Amino acid sequence: MRALVLRAHGDHLSAEEVPTPTPGRGEVLVRVEACGVGLTVLNYMAGATRVHAEKLPRIPGHEFVGTVVACGPEVDTSFVGRRVMAYFYLSCGACEFCRLAHEPLCLHLRGQVGVASDGGFAEYAVLPAFNALAVPEGVDPVAATTIPDAVATPLHVCRRAAAGPQDTALVVGAAGGVGIHMVQMLKAFGARVVAVDRGGEKVEALRTMGFETVDASHGDWVARVRAVASDRVTLAVDLVGRRETLEGCVDLLGPRGRLVVLTTFRDVAVSLSPARLVAGELQVLGSRYASRWEVQQAGRMVQEGRIRPVVSETRRLEQAGELVAKLRQGVLLGRGAVVP
């Protein structure tokens, strides 16, 4: 089969012919129809989050959608013919956290799809049946690539932070693959949303979608958010993960405000004042991916039209480097996708 192989950390993927995988016990073979391309996979490729050099070479790509064409031993053959989407975390399904639908906190986590096992930058991919979740009827496969991460992650954030109509929510990095669905999810939960990103076209797209916006490429974005939000930011979601954005979010929080952190860059540290945390009863919350249940709920929200997937560009498999370059330049709106 055709595949893109990561042989060393960096943005270069090698287009190769590799053996088509065979599903093992408890696994299914998926013919890939589309695979999302976002910053999570780029950060993994670059080694910016955690170093996994011992797991190379690897076929990346965790946001893939396709049709099951074969089942391994101990898998119900009714899986064949189903359109499925990949659940990112290789969880055990049996520990106390998995039983509570907190699969990202699995006590026996084996890693992630596209990191510890080959992913969807290929014509075929193998998944544990546990990780093969049904795509809702009527949802296009390219649009569906947003569901298991770019839509489900915002749903988990909103549930974890108890977002609601009482909130004025700030999203930094709001036009990216997760961000453009985060602003929609917060709105669906009833929050007022202030969207921050860089670049006129991306900010204009957010404005066209009906969101209050701040272009961070012009002037002091913190001061501009403060003016727009009237000092009432109660919930901040930082998808950029730099020291200056994280500390800017904390500065903007009003009493009982919550900052949600999703990024895991190894070299980023933030200064927090205990006095300010106590005086304002502020909370800093880590948010880690989403549960399988939340992925399925995210799919229903897409199916019902409550969240609109934004996949602005698609490419053939061998042209994935074009999407990588656009992501690195910060000019890609929402998600991109490769279509084998």
Using omega within 30 degrees of 0 as the cis cutoff, is the peptide bond preceding 57 cis?
Answer: yes
Q: Is 26:66 a contact under the CB 8 Å cutoff?
A: no
Structure confidence at residue 46 (pLDDT): 87
Structure confidence at residue 90 (pLDDT): 97
What stretch of H or E contains 195?
strand 192-197
Which token pair is 34?
A: 């589309």
Structure confidence at residue 50 (pLDDT): 65
Q: What pTM does this model have?
A: 0.95
The packing angle between helices 39-46 and 320-329, to 10°, is 90
- Which residue ranges form the domains of the chain, and what is each CATH number? 2-149+290-339 (3.90.180.10), 162-286 (3.90.180.10)
Neighbouring CB atoms inside 10 A of 43's CB total: 16
**If phi over 0 gives left and psi between -120 and 50 gives alpha, with beta otherwise, what is residue 47?**
left
Reading the chain (340 residues) residue by residue, the pLDDT tens digits are 999 999 999 889 999 999 999 999 999 999 999 999 998 898 889 887 665 666 899 999 999 999 999 999 999 999 999 999 999 999 999 999 999 999 999 999 999 999 999 999 999 999 999 999 999 999 999 999 999 999 999 999 999 999 999 999 999 999 999 999 999 999 999 999 999 999 889 999 999 999 999 999 988 999 999 999 987 899 999 999 999 999 999 999 999 999 999 998 888 888 889 999 999 999 999 999 999 999 999 999 999 999 999 999 999 999 999 999 999 988 999 999 999 9
